[in-house]
Chain A
Amino acid sequence: MRYFPITLAALGLVACASVVEAASEGDPERGAGLVTPCATCHQADGSGKHIEGGQSWPRLAGLNARYFIKQYNDIKSGSRQSATMMPFVNMLNGQQLADVAAYYARMEPTPGQGGENASEGVLERGKQIAERGDWSQYIVACRSCHGPGSRGAGEAFPGIAGQHAGYIEAQLKAWKEGTRNNDPQNLMGSIAKRMGDEDIHAVAVWLANQSPVAE
């Protein structure tokens, strides 16, 4: 493998690499002692909660540690907006964040909520978007970036199968409206902008009903 130190430095990836290194050294045991405030919303088992008609809290159990760290840091720096998380972004230093991320990454993922009452037709449409996309509107399938079953691929594309419908729907709408834009190269934003609200709902409830882990 070739390595391009100058290019990477120019891109600011060297700074990123140090975060990544810290994450790989995250200690889940130490992390376990730091998560009491997180559990208030994200629950002791990391399951989070779907809240119909309100703000849903995402499941953290099983989330990729590097993705976790990036999101926390983005909220802290203001490149991702979350009023709910703001009081907590100074709670963890770099090592503590790595420990907490490692703790949640190792947890058993729990099932998604919020898709239980969706109609068959809505779920069918959601499945089409997630698995095959709708190219007549240039909506790319979720799985083409989020991996097989949309269960996640690498550190940039989190698992979204088994995430709560309310959370997925809120995030896609935030991308669509431009209030969330911390994705690499606008990869999610450019697709969300082409999605109608009904399709956003359909894909959210279908994904919520899927297993977060390969069966």
Chain B
Amino acid sequence: MIRKFFQVALSGTVLLSSTAAANDYASDAEIQQYIETLTEMGFPAPKEDQLVHIPPTMEDLEDADIHPELKRVIRRGYDLFTNTQQLRGKNVFNNMNCSSCHLGAGRVPFSAPIWPAAVTLPDYRGKNGHVNTLEERIAGCFAYSMNGKPPAYGSDDMVALATYHTWLASGVEMYPKQSIYGRGFPAPERPGKLSYANGERLFQEQCAVCHQEDGSGLRVDGQTVYPALWGNNSNNWGAGMVRIFTAAGFIKNNMPLGQPHSLSDQQAWDIAYYMNSQERPQDPRYTGEVKETAEKHKNFHQHSMYGKIRESDGKLLGDHDNTGDKPFLKPDNLRPRSFE
């Protein structure tokens, strides 16, 4: 497979015409080396028709032939992305940074790299039922994953974040037709049965050294080192990570840090099931009744434990009006759109 990919890369077919050929930042050989590193670690090699893109690094930015002011804004976006806690109390009401889930500053395959958003949006999004721009997609992360209030559309912070996303996509065509290699957190195959008890045991063995026995993570000098996995300082019930398959995909491909693919599919799913069976701040789409909310957003919550009974103690999950440290339920700039 690797050999095959190498030949395809060198022949400069469609596969890489949109990336290496147009990408000033990574040569074919560098991309090939990168793929080999990933496959040695257990990640799948790219399929022949997939789009492979290695985004530029902050080191590449310094040498890039772009306007100095654009560089400054990209640096600002990177800084916000990796230290989103600087917006604490204004836009962020938990301990998360963007880079808590999007590892490697949003560049890394299989860790929900962020550049695909820049080339696939605007697009229709099932989660809110309308066409979303890149800024609106980022706003979704703030509303759910950061349990916060998105920076205003067009504000300096929002533009800086969107610019960082777009720069990472340098050289990739808009609306690519191929599927994107390493997009999202690809979930391993769901096992027949998930075990809460096994997930709990594995969590304490494999995860608690960093994320703590109670899942609260750790902060040092006012900065997040290990993000909170549940509780008031974690993402709320509306974040994509509460879907068990998303969490299982994140864990399998990224955890423990530095050891992707070290857990079996069953282990990744069991840990995800345990982690997502703990309480967290209310879904901003809450109607005042958890089962009604879960039903209203069934396409999303059919994959989560929200509004369901936790098997270990019979607790109905999400049945509360706790919004964590956030003094409101729903940010006012998160709203439907109709184009009428």
Contacts of A154 in B (CB 8 A): 218, 220, 225
CA distance A151 to B258 in the complex (A): 20
Least CB distance from B80 to A in Å reads 15
Least CB distance from B78 to A in Å reads 10
The answer to whether the Cβ of B167 comes within 8 Å of any Cβ in the partner chain is no
CA distance A135 to B113 in the complex (A): 12
The answer to whether the Cβ of A110 comes within 8 Å of any Cβ in the partner chain is no
Contacts of A145 in B (CB 8 A): 210, 225, 257
CA distance A191 to B258 in the complex (A): 6
Interface string of B203-223 (1 = CB under 8 A from A): 011100110011010101101
CA distance A128 to B107 in the complex (A): 15
Q: Which of B41, B226, B260 has the most CB of A within 10 A?
A: B226
The answer to whether the Cβ of A37 comes within 8 Å of any Cβ in the partner chain is no
CA distance A185 to B38 in the complex (A): 21
Known: A132-B105, A148-B225, A153-B225. A185 touches B256 (CB 8 A): yes
Contacts of A147 in B (CB 8 A): 220-221, 223, 225
The answer to whether the Cβ of B200 comes within 8 Å of any Cβ in the partner chain is yes
Residue of A nearest to B107 (CB): A135
Contacts of B216 in A (CB 8 A): 1
Residue of B nearest to A139 (CB): B258
Interface string of A122-139 (1 = CB under 8 A from B): 000000100011011110
Least CB distance from B237 to A in Å reads 19
The answer to whether the Cβ of B321 comes within 8 Å of any Cβ in the partner chain is no
B221 touches A148 (CB 8 A): yes
The answer to whether the Cβ of B141 comes within 8 Å of any Cβ in the partner chain is no
Known: A135-B108, A136-B54. A4 touches B34 (CB 8 A): no
A2 touches B30 (CB 8 A): no
Known: A148-B220, A152-B220. A2 touches B34 (CB 8 A): no
The answer to whether the Cβ of B33 comes within 8 Å of any Cβ in the partner chain is yes
The contact of A11 among B30, B205, B260, by CB within 8 Å, is B205
Known: A136-B30, A147-B221, A214-B221. A7 touches B204 (CB 8 A): yes
Interface string of B38-56 (1 = CB under 8 A from A): 1001000000000000100
Known: A135-B107, A136-B54. A187 touches B221 (CB 8 A): no
A136 touches B34 (CB 8 A): yes
Interface string of A58-74 (1 = CB under 8 A from B): 00000000000000000
A184 touches B209 (CB 8 A): yes
The contact of A1 among B103, B214, B225, by CB within 8 Å, is B214
16 A–B contacts, CB within 8 A, in A order? A2-B214, A4-B200, A4-B204, A4-B213, A135-B104, A136-B30, A136-B33, A136-B37, A138-B37, A145-B210, A148-B225, A154-B225, A184-B209, A185-B206, A186-B259, A187-B209
Name A's B-contacting residues (CB within 8 A): 1-4, 7-8, 10-11, 128, 132-133, 135-138, 140, 144-145, 147-149, 151-154, 156, 184-187, 190-191, 214
The 4 closest A-B pairs by CB, nearest first: A135-B104, A147-B220, A1-B214, A153-B225
